[in-house]
Amino acid sequence: MTSVWLAAALVAAVAATTAAAQFRQFESGSPRGYAARYAKSESFGRGFTFCRAMYTSGRREAGGQGWATDYPDAEFNFSVRLSELTRTRVSKASDGGPDHVVVRLTDELLYQCPYLHMEDAGTAMLTGAEVTGLRSYLMKGGFLWVDDYWGTGASENWAEQLARVLPPSEFPVKAIEIEHPVFHSMFDVKELPQIPSIQWWRTSGGDTSERGRDSEVPTMRGISDRHGNLIVLMTHNTDISDAWEREGEDPRYFYQFSPNGYAVGINVVLYAMTH
């Protein structure tokens, strides 16, 4: 589904850089022992800054860690590859690596994020203030990508939370077909890949559906503004972000999933930044 060029470029990039988590150190104090790198005013204005939404959870999903799922290696690796595979200028942190931030849905700095990433949204139980903050962000031109939530339970829970933010009578959720520009912003993506977490893939013997029959088909759905531009994009029954986070851990996983995962991710971000 992706070009041979993308796979070859990623192989060269991974060989030339060290992006895997085990080679970097983070302070303790948040899920997985990594401290949240909260947004500051100086985090913006120097190029693309990957923004991850911090939200309140009210339930658990197997394999998930709430807002911090795949944090921080997904955004670190993605930002590196975005800078290498496109002409996008990515902001740099003081340590020389790509800057990436965690933003609360109630933080005024949320409005500095043209792109917002949310994972494991099937666990979300947004507070009233978070609902208001996210609605205001989207109405002011923001873009939200929700990834890595699996099965019926997670889908129904997230649908309830999203309806509090954007009432479906005014903002209907629609399937995003393969002809949509988001699939072709840079790479010609012909189908949405189902990408499992690397742990599931290893322990299941290579299966890609993390909830069995309840998550057999990956889907992309979204909400558009009155001009027809997507403001919310949701990838259900797939973990696109794990293809970024785990790129350096297993060559078999990398070759099977990372080129497709980066193709989808780069397409989505370029769409978000240009619409």
Pairwise CA distance, residues 196 & 16, whole Å: 26
What is the number of other CB atoms lying within 10 angstroms of the CB of residue 24? 14
CA distances from 6 to 13, 17, 154, 179 (A): 10, 16, 32, 21
pLDDT mean over 194-200: 97
pLDDT tens-digit profile of 70-124?
A: 999 999 999 999 999 999 999 999 889 999 999 999 999 999 999 999 999 999 9
Query: Which residues span the domain enclosing 127?
Result: 4-274
Average pLDDT, integer, range 193-211 = 97
Decide if pLDDT at 145 tops 60. yes
Query: pTM for the whole thing?
Result: 0.91
Q: For the chain, what is the largest distance between any 2 Cα atoms, rounded to a whole number of angstroms?
A: 50
Q: What is the CATH number of the domain that holds 189?
A: 3.40.50.12140
- 124-145 mean pLDDT: 98
Span 56-77, average pLDDT: 96
Sign of CA dihedral 206, 212, 217, 218: negative
Is it the case that residue 210 has pLDDT exceeding 60?
yes
Report the number of distinct structural domains present in the chain: 1
CA distance 183 to 131: 29
CA distance 183 to 3: 13
Say how far apart CA 272 and CA 275 lie, in whole Å: 6
Residue 224 C-beta-side C-alpha neighbours within 13 Å:
13
Q: What's the mean per-residue pLDDT of the chain?
A: 91
